[in-house]
Structure 1
Amino acid sequence: MLKIRCLLLVVFLWMSCTVSCQESNTKNNKILFVVSNQHTYGTTTMNTANHFAEIVEAYHVFVNSGYKVDFVSPEGGAVPIGYIKTSDSIQKKYIYDATFMNLLKKTFKPEDIEASNYKAVYYSGGGAAMFGVPENEMIQNISTHIYQNNGIISAICHGTAGIVNLKMKDGTYLYQGKQVNGYPDIFENKEKAYYKTFPFSIEETINKNGGNFMYSKNGWDKHYIIDGRLITGQDPTASASVALQVVKMLKKNNL
């Protein structure tokens, strides 16, 4: 009888350890997507949104590589999506995926996020990314915490706006002395009304703060740049590439 009890105790402890380890792995095997709640360009009535392809193409790479993705926005809750192309197979897959779409309807608020649970941050773009996210200090703190704990910061297109204010503990910009990619001014139409609502130029701000903004003059050619644990892409065509490089770096560093 004593042997049976001892055996049952061993089995119970083994199962408890297994469950605990699985929960721990799931908890720490996460990537945080940063999106915006902004519906318009500035205070105008011109509609803007988060770029759907830049979200789903990266999301597709991450979840199929075994990572869990959470979404955070400055205000939490639903976020606008746009630039949708249903003829694209991946976009079509997710636009009709109720579980996925529910994630965009119920994004976390910054105060809901425990930074230590994440291995990487991914800033998605679209015109909405220029508003709300760059100046949000709580999101800045989350990202810098992840980075300073050997995590990865990644961004795509106008999503690079989200990193312009990221600073290290010593007050230097996270990207100081690093090569950075994003949507360049050369492809913006500065005479258009939409651009005049932008609070800053991504390219000019990165350079002013000690970064080295670089880009492909061809454009729309899957261009991205890796500089340490900072991975940035130029436009929607680089979304999957940026995500693949994040996964590659995480696995290489056993993160």
Structure 2
Amino acid sequence: MQPTIKKKILIVLTNTTRYGHTNDATGLWLGEATEFAQLVQQAGYQVDYVSPKGGFVPLDPRSMKYVDDEIMAFYETPDFQERALTHSLAPNDVNSADYAAIYYAGGHGVMWDFPDNPELQALATAIYDQNGYVTAVCHGIAGLLNIQDRPDHYLIADRRVTGFTKMEERLAGKTKVVPFFNQTIATEHGAHFQKKRAYREYAVQDDRLITGQNPFSAKAVAQLLIQSLAAH
């Protein structure tokens, strides 16, 4: 009997290098990608990396202040350097049928290139429609905000979700430069936004939707996803 082949997990990363029209650098929050990827790979899943434009993925320089030995070791692997940061896939390179889940990593950069990307929305919708999981952490929820699972109905409507909160945005000192607040838009689109104390690990699952509050919640999202896929 042939062993069951596990489907892959698609990790979405930003191409945005700066906060809007400023010279303030941003990009991917490194640990949100590495910590998630490491756990799901250890569970036996292959990962692919995609970005709105494909190719180069910049790092948020502030995220480098919060690395540990584990994050640095994963960051330095040739696989991550090549497939995530240098030659990420473009959405048109991706076949949604290959994936059991999609995961939107954060970093402030995603606020500009995740919310209104129709190709990424189509991938997420296709994965969800084939009984897959749609997941995100921190600012990565920006990629979920405008997804519609049917005409004039948001995927997050009437669902429990979390993401980077307005309070955390204030503490980060970015309230005047971000184009919107994830918490506000999620609520406006009908979601039941959940939160805990700022910068505490927290993840929420509502059926096949899994979200984490902040940069310290990537592992919690991965663990919920792994458990759900194992029981699927």
Q: Same fold (TM over 0.5)?
A: yes
**What is the count of residue pairs matched by the alignment?**
229
Alignment of 1:61-210 (within 5 A): 61-82=39-60, 83-85=63-65, 88-104=68-84, 105-189=86-170, 192=173, 194-210=174-190
Q: Normalized against structure 2, the TM-score is what?
A: 0.93
Between the two proteins, what is the percent identity of the paired residues? 31
Structure 1: where are the runs of 5+ without partners?
A: 1-17
Cα deviations across residues 38-79 of structure 1 (Å, max 9, x unaligned)?
Answer: 000012111001000111000010110000111111110010
More helix by share: 1
Corresponding residue number in structure 2 for 1:44: 22
Cα distance in 2 for partners of 1:168, 1:86 equals 36
Corresponding residue number in structure 2 for 1:55: 33
Cα distance in 2 for partners of 1:110, 1:87 equals 29
Question: How well do the aligned residues superpose, as a CA RMSD in angstroms?
Answer: 1.9
Stretches (4+) displaced over 3 A: none
Cα deviations across residues 190-231 of structure 1 (Å, max 9, x unaligned)?
Answer: 995x43332221111111111111100x22221111111111
Amino acid of the structure 1 residue aligned with 2:181? S
Cα distance in 2 for partners of 1:182, 1:110 equals 24
Q: Normalized against structure 1, the TM-score is what?
A: 0.85
The structure 1 residue matched to 2:193, chosen from 213, 225, 240, is 213
Structure 2 contact 17–27 (Cα < 8 Å) conserved: yes
| Superposition deviation, residue 183 in structure 1 | 0.5
Cα deviations across residues 171-193 of structure 1 (Å, max 9, x unaligned)?
Answer: 3111110111000101212995x
Structure 2: where are the runs of 5+ without partners?
A: none
SS at 2:143 equivalent: helix
| Superposition deviation, residue 99 in structure 1 | 1.9
| Superposition deviation, residue 29 in structure 1 | 1.6
Corresponding residue number in structure 2 for 1:33: 11
Structure 2 contact 34–75 (Cα < 8 Å) conserved: no
